[in-house]
Amino acid sequence: ILNVEQSPQSLHVQEGDSTNFTCSFPSSNFYALHWYRWETAKSPEALFVMTLNGDEKKKGRISATLNTKEGYSYLYIKGSQPEDSATYLCASFRSYNTDKLIFGTGTRLQVFP
């Protein structure tokens, strides 16, 4: 994988459902993986920054895991709520000195009441 890829592109779930989506990134020269939440008409907000293989982070009902050897990260949302509706972006930072994050196109989540 040369780019950051996210799947699915969009997702519709019912309130209360749990859901997850995937970020695939180049595993070579990995340094960090970022997740952002981007609500319509707002700016992206950082959820997690992960650096260690096997790392798992949690913020409320949202959690993320990281596999740097195979180059993927999962984002999980437990008991989705309508306010979780947003685009979830991941971004890979591959090289220490270039301050360069490569973003995926995001997974657009809509939670219906």
Partner 1 sequence: DTAVSQTPKYLVTQMGNDKSIKCEQNLGHDTMYWYKQDSKKFLKIMFSYNNKELIINETVPNRFSPKSPDKAHLNLHINSLELGDSAVYFCASSTPSGQGNSPLHFGNGTRLTVT
Residues near partner 1 (CB under 8 A) are: 31-32, 34, 36, 42-46, 49, 51, 89, 91, 93, 96-101, 103, 105-106
Which CB atom, from 41 or from 113, has the smaller least distance to partner 1? 41
Backbone angles phi and psi of 51, in degrees to 5 = -130, -25
CB of 14 to partner 1, least distance (A): 25
CB of 40 to partner 1, least distance (A): 12
- Distance in angstroms (rounded) separating the CA atoms of residues 93 and 110: 28
Let me know: does 11 contact 110? Beta carbons within 8 Å: yes
| Tokens standing for residue 18 | 């749990």
